[in-house]
Structure 1
Amino acid sequence: MIFELIDFRSFSNLWYWIALAVTWSSASHWVLGIPYDMVLRARRVGGQAETDLADITRVNVSRLLYIADEAGLILMAFWAFGMSTLLLLGFVYHVEFCQALSLILLPMSLVMFLSIRTARRIRTDGDAAEALHKRLAVHRLTVQVIGMISIFVTAFWGMLQNFNIAIFG
């Protein structure tokens, strides 16, 4: 019974699609680790909400850039090794579980690189108030577009895999 709940044929499993939806929903809500409702509240209310947004942005940008600057090379090497392994297992050796993970993690790596780039721009330009709102909104929109494309490609690939299994066994 437990193996029926944890089916490694990912594209036919409801849990995979729930995980995909939650992943992209979270990625578009937490912009640089900042909940987007804080951006909206700061834009609408101002005052203390604006100060809170500036503070949490400063902390998250500093944290993200510290990690990227101090351990970025090592993390990139591990990430490249892991993604190469997943891609090879998934698309050369046809392991469906690795295909499914690749279709989530590969676009998320693009989001992470964009987050680091946005954090560097915020620090360099010293964004505050309206400029910060705009920069975070553009970043969120970019993440949402990447998410929509990713979900479309994943759904297409998943339907193709399910179709092939149904036809060719």
Structure 2
Amino acid sequence: MDLYATVRELIDLRSFSNLWYWIGLAVVWSSASHWVLGVPLDMIQRAKKRGGEAMDDLQSLTRISCNRILYISSVSGLWLLGFSCFVLTGLAMLGFYYNVEFAQAVFLLLFPMSIVGLISISTARLIDEKKPQGLALVKQLMRHRIYVQLLGVLSIFTTAMWGMAQNMNYSVLFN
């Protein structure tokens, strides 16, 4: 087999038919669901089950993560919003107006993650204002995780349906 053909097959820009895209999509949503505002899920579960020092660690790490998220959003939030909108608009135009499949795939990955970012900022603000302690904090973090998981399910379903339609259109055109 030719080296060029091997590399071209490995780095296929037809994303929806590429196994690596789907593995990447699963890893992104798995990570987003596991890291709740920068706090690992196992730490939340351990704090809920054991309390004491584990709960103190959870409260400290949540405070640090929330402060970090709020600092970044207050210092460079407008710049990040502008740049994100620029990138997402460019990807949407390339993908859906000019029919570039790679841009469609990246848009369907980044757009829901930008919503996760907004949900994270909102939850960080809520935690900073109310300063929940103990099980109330665990409940707030788990609610955030459920929102991210619901968005992930909707995103994966939408991406799978769009990818299936793209693959069917591609196979009809070239058969």
Q: TM-score range by the shorter chain?
A: over 0.9
- Listed as ranges, the matches of 1:119-158 within 5 Å are 119-158=124-163
Deviations 1:5-55 (A, max 9, x none): 010000000000000000000000001011011110000001110010011
1:114 equivalent to 2:119? Answer: yes
Whole-angstrom CA distance in 2 between matches of 1:3 and 1:54: 48
Q: What SS does the corresponding residue of 2:13 show, helix, strand or coil? A: coil
| The one of 5, 20, 33 aligned to 2:38 | 33
Equivalent residues, number: 169
Structure with higher Rg: it is: 2
Q: Which runs of 5+ in 1 are unaligned?
A: none
TM-score, length-normalised on structure 2? 0.96
Whole-angstrom CA distance in 2 between matches of 1:35 and 1:131: 17
Whole-angstrom CA distance in 2 between matches of 1:153 and 1:76: 24
Whole-angstrom CA distance in 2 between matches of 1:97 and 1:63: 33
- Which amino acid in the other structure matches residue 45 of structure 2? L
Q: Which runs of 5+ in 2 are unaligned?
A: 1-5
Deviations 1:51-84 (A, max 9, x none): 1001100100000000000000011110110000
The RMSD of aligned alpha carbons is 0.5
- Listed as ranges, the matches of 1:1-150 within 5 Å are 1-150=6-155
Whole-angstrom CA distance in 2 between matches of 1:100 and 1:44: 40
Identity %: 53
Deviation at 1:128, TM superposition (A): 1.1
TM-score, length-normalised on structure 1? 0.99
Whole-angstrom CA distance in 1 between matches of 2:117 and 2:104: 20
